[in-house]
Amino acid sequence: MHTRKEQMEAFGRFLDVLDELREKCPWDRKQTNESLRPNTIEETYELCDALMKDDKKEICKELGDVLLHVAFYAKIGSETGDFDMKDVCDRLCDKLIFRHPHVFGEVKADTAEKVVENWEQIKMKEKDGNKMVLSGVPSALPSLIKAYRIQDKARNVGFDWEDRKDIWKKVKEEIGEFEAEVENMDKDKAEAEFGDVMFSLINAARLYKINPDNALERTNQKFIRRFNYLEEHTIQEGKNLKDMTLEEMDAIWNEAKKKGL
């Protein structure tokens, strides 16, 4: 791999290229924080997609795209006189050092669990008096990830199940309440109860150390593979999915499962 000097030279070259683009390219010159934000979200999801696929070349490429956005925001900040890349890096380093007293200080933390145990208390000291536990959960997070983060933050201050097996009683209770509202044909209440079902299942995943977002995405990709197999198989036979019976489709679907798709 490259030396630290080579990496720093490459980073400096990148900042030089960005400076020139900002000065000479009409598109780059007109960008603002507001105009870049949607693209930043898209690039972040593309990176997450590459990470899920464990595609090393794509991960490298998408990391570059995300880095471009980080540097672009810092460039805009320097133009307004608010901050620049040095400020971004300095604040990040200061935060990392402050949040890792077991590395840079005298605190002892021999396991990852012990580090996490102290994490929220350390972060709360940075909030300038705002000590609301859930205040650090971004409102713009996707709902599934937000639910996980809410539960995890609550856990860090002791608000959690004493025995993780007890969660299954809660899951069954929430499913029962959802079923009851479906039977009552009350769409609004059924939606609320379905949210409770999902929240309890996310809680169960957390308690058993499963990332629910990763788990759901694995199922999404599995469904896509099997459905694509079904569709390709149908086309090869000169048929149309709309003309097939459910039993015929199930037979091909089960064939895809046997193939490990």
Interval 17-53: pLDDT, tens: 999 999 999 999 999 999 999 999 999 999 999 998 8
CB 36 within 8 A of CB 73: yes
List of residues 6+ apart from 152 with CB closer than 8 A: 206
Q: pLDDT truncated to tens, each residue of the chain (261 aa)? A: 899 999 999 999 999 999 999 999 999 999 999 999 999 999 999 999 999 889 999 999 999 999 999 999 999 999 999 999 999 999 999 989 988 888 888 777 777 766 766 666 676 666 555 567 888 788 888 999 999 999 998 988 889 999 999 999 999 999 999 999 999 988 999 999 999 999 999 999 999 999 999 999 999 999 999 999 999 988 888 888 888 899 999 999 999 999 988
Class of the CATH domain delimited by 4-98: mainly alpha
Look at phi and psi of residue 129 and say left if phi exceeds 0, alpha if psi is from -120 to 50, else beta. left
Topology match between the domains 4-98 and 132-210: yes
- Asked if 138 and 161 count as a contact pair (C-beta separation under 8 A), the reply is no
CA distance 67 to 88: 13
Fold of the domain spanning 132-210: Helix Hairpins (1.10.287)
The model carries a pTM of 0.68
Dist CA 203 CA 201 (whole Å): 5
Instruction: Name the one residue in this structure whose structure tokens are 């089960």.
Output: 254
Spell out the domain ranges in the chain: 4-98, 132-210, 214-258
